[in-house]
Amino acid sequence: MNATDNFTLGYSEYGDPNAKVLAVLPGWATDANFLKPIAELFKDEYRVLLIDMPGYGKSSHLKLFADSTRQTANLILNTLPKNSILMSWSLSTLACCRACAMDTNGKIDKYISVCGSPRFPADPNWPGFDYKYVLKCLKLFDEGKNTRSIKLFFMMQSQSSILSKENKQFMIESFDAMGDIDKDVLVAGLHKMAYADHREAFNAIKIPCLHIFGAKDRLVLPDLAKHLIQPPYHVCSVLQDSAHMPFLSEPENFKKVINLFLKNSN
């Protein structure tokens, strides 16, 4: 029995309430507000659920579970109806990989990761980021500079030269709408980013999966695509004009790649 068995995550809903569910989860230091462009892209075809992670937005009351990837995965499965399409952006990929591997009730029909990884830091045989970025963020948190730490991370992942003026403004507005997040929740996410390794769970997934990367991403390197391609279940796509937020930088290509995957994996 899991401590989260009787709980579900909070979410915002868009699109056709009678259509197939596309459930999307955000990255570190972001809530469902940051995912609205994805809902806008797919609301005509799907019932889109923008799900808040534990400690954020409509799941703020579940912050106790923010440090446990396993319990977060269980919360995801509790929240989804059967035969859902699951999409993760960035750090939520850790919990979503676990959810896919744990799913014994047909909750997840297909899985899409966006600039995510089952392990974020590099090791000798795995492309990833340098630990120093996360350690710098943790140091800023220790000094009480929470907002500065989050903005530093956003700068690294968004690469302002790629995003339009409108997209930059969208990020500012989303950040303001999110409000303050408990420091312990944010630090728990950084610890996962620095130390978690869910490659075993990833390799246990036996449903159609698409993994999207940005060619200019400095956090989740596009070279990772070579390690995640595992026919027949895992296919990858690299968007050439994107960094860590392809749904903002290349929305049309982003949607095209996903629709092609969904059509061909039936």
106-138 residue pLDDT tens:
999 999 999 999 999 998 899 988 777 777 777
- pLDDT tens digits for range 19-32: 999 999 999 999 99
**Cα–chain-centroid distance for residue 88?**
3
pLDDT tens by residue, 38-92: 999 999 999 999 999 999 999 999 999 999 999 999 999 999 999 999 999 999 9
| Domains within the chain, CATH numbers bracketed | 11-264 (3.40.50.1820)
* Mean pLDDT value across the chain: 91
